[in-house]
Structure 1
Amino acid sequence: MTFSDESYNLRIELDCQGCELSPREVAAMEMDVDTLASLVDDFPVSDLHVTVVYHHKPDDYHVKTNLVLSGTSLFTGERDGLVQPAFEACMRKLVKKVRAYKRQMRVGEDAEKQSAGTRHQVTPNAEVDLAGLIQSVSDDDYPTFRNLIDVFAPSLTSRIAHWLDRYPDMLEGVQPAMTVEDLLEEVFLNAFDDFEKRPHNVPPGNWLEHLIDPSVQALLQSPDEEYQRVEFSKLLVS
């Protein structure tokens, strides 16, 4: 059986072995694919092969998925007494794997741009007061640190906006909703926390840019906590 959602580019093939799925079950599976379908919509090739195998002993379903994308194939598998929970678990795994793969692609593309000299660097718009930054961290003085690190804000804001434009699905559904400005503050907060551990052989702008991804991950894992932290930091520096 082959089905697809006209809203997306994903083609889905369903193979049932030892069982037959009802139209209602297939419709439910189509709904569960929605997040994955939007995530892979920008791939030229995106085929999802789903195999559902019913085992009489121990009376359960084994759902296996193979997602074929341009340049890679991603596999998952789950077992459950019902088809739907097993399929939902497979979709959650695939979404995580696709996001990881897209991050790897971004790293590779950035490396190529770096080599070709076409990648925009995160650069300060004024002289960096490194001694002042070090002292503010030593004094646990975030307002001063934030004021000094602000020389990177315009360039870093541009990189964050570009990052989110390429991966708009990353923060989709996160509540409270996060803006580019919120993510900028999250990066600066993480920079303050990790400043003493920064690699001294890496330019500060590059180091700040490398904090974008872990900052997004922190927001995904604890959105309420991180949002409160960002809002509190804004009060400190206002």
Structure 2
Amino acid sequence: MPYSDETYNLRIELDTKHCSLSAEQISKMEGALQALHRATQSFPVSDLYVTVIHHPRSGDFHVKLALVLPGRTLFTGERHRDSYAAYKQCVDKLLRKVIAYKQDLDNASERSKQIKGTHQEIIPTQIPDHDDLRRAVDEGDYARFRNGMLMYEEPVRKRIGRWVQRDPELEALIGERLQLADIVEDVFLTAFERYHAKPNQMLPGDWLEELISVVLRALAADPDGELENVSMVRTAREAEAEQSADSSQHTP
């Protein structure tokens, strides 16, 4: 039962063996591709081949996906008693592979820029007090650490903006589910949690660049979980700010 859809930039070819799918089932399968549509928008070619095979003896469905992109073809496969369950697992795995492939392309682009001398580094507006930052981390004082990193905030925000512009899926989340400031906060929260793991020989700006990559990959994979972490930290910081303001008002 061949089926083709070229409505979106992602061209879909569906084939079934030893089974048939209703129009309702096909529509449900198309609906599960929204994130993949967004993730592949930047590619000039993106052809998705879907094969659904029913095994009458076992009753299982074997779903195979092949996504043809410039320079690489990505494959996934799953078996399940329910055809849609197998298909959805394949789509989720394929989305993660697309995100990883795009990250590889971005890394290659960054390496090329570094060789050509056009890489834009994260440079602080003033020199931070690294001893104070270490003490803040040792004492578990995120608010103090965050204030000590303010000289990196604007360079980090601009760098994140450039990363997001290259990823339609992340760009679609901005304004809809999160703000750029949320990603900035997530980067500094990650820096706080991993501060003692920073290689001594690595420049702080290069380290923050690496953390931006880590945070954006995590957001793409689990936006709800990452946003919950940021929301908890922001709520705590706002509460600390209110307490500080109240204390200053009552100080004679």
TM-score normalised by L of structure 1 = 0.88
Q: CA RMSD in A?
A: 2.4
Which position in structure 2 is the counterpart of 1:227? Answer: 231
Give the stretch that moved more between structures: 152-161 or 225-234.
225-234
Contact 1:9-1:37 within 8 A present in 2 as well: yes
Q: How many residues align?
A: 237
Q: 3-state DSSP class of the match of 1:169?
A: helix
The CA deviation at 1:37 is 1.8
- TM-superposed deviation, 1:60: 2.2
Q: Tell whether 2:143 aligns with 1:143.
A: yes
Q: What SS class does the counterpart of residue 124 from structure 1 fall into?
A: coil
SS at match of 2:149: helix
Q: Which residue of 2 aligns with 1:28?
A: 28
SS at the partner of 1:62? strand
Distance 1:24 1:171 in 2: 30
Distance 1:213 1:73 in 2: 23
Counterpart contact for 2:110–2:119, Cα < 8 Å: yes
Q: Is the 8 A contact 1:186 1:230 kept in 2?
A: no
Match of 2:66 in 1: 66
Between the aligned partners of 1:17 and 1:97, the Cα distance in structure 2 is 26
Q: Who is 2:114 aligned against?
A: 114
Deviation, 1:234, is 4.7
Shift of 1:173: 6.3
Sort the Cα spacing of 1:227 and 1:116 in 2 relative to 1 into closer, same or farther, 3 A.
same
Structure 2 stretches of 5 or more lacking a match?
243-252
Displacement of 1:176: 9.2
The 2-side partners of 1:234 and 1:106 are apart by 35
Matches of 1:174 and 1:92 in 2, distance apart? 21
Is 1:215–2:219 an aligned residue pair? no
**Deviates further, 8-17 or 137-146:** 137-146
Q: For 1:171 and 1:227, how far apart are their aligned partners in 2?
A: 20
Maintained 8 Å contact 2:12/2:47: yes
**Rounded Cα–Cα distance in structure 2 between residues aligned with 1:155 and 1:174:** 19
Give the AA of the match of 1:136.
Answer: A
| Matched-pair contact (CA < 8 Å) for 2:185–2:230 | no
> Counterpart of 2:62 in 1: which secondary structure?
strand
1:107-153: CA deviations, max 9, x gaps? Answer: 11111111111121100111232233223333433333222211111
**How far 1:215 moved relative to its partner?**
2.7
SS state of the match for residue 169, structure 2? coil
Moved more, 135-144 or 110-119: 135-144
Q: Structure 1 residues 66-75 or 139-148, which shifts more?
A: 139-148
Residue identity matched to 1:25: Q
SS at structure 1 position matched to 2:119: coil
Query: For the residues of structure 2 that align with 1:203 and 1:195, how far apart are their CA atoms?
Result: 13
Distance in 1 (CA, whole Å) between partners of 2:155 and 2:227 is 25
Residue 203 of structure 2: aligned partner = 203
Alpha-carbon distance between aligned partners in 1 of 2:22 and 2:78, rounded to the nearest angstrom: 20
Give the aligned partner of residue 4 of structure 1.
5
Deviation at 1:235, TM superposition (A): 4.5
2:61–2:82 contact (8 Å) kept in structure 1: yes
Alignment-mate amino acid for residue 51 of structure 2: T
Indicate the percent of aligned positions where both proteins have the same amino acid: 34
| 8 Å Cα contact 2:41/2:168 also seen in 1 | no
Report the residue type matching 1:232 in the other structure.
A
196 and 58 in structure 1: CA distance in 2 versus 1, 3 angstrom threshold? same
The Cα of 1:2 is off from its aligned counterpart by 4.2
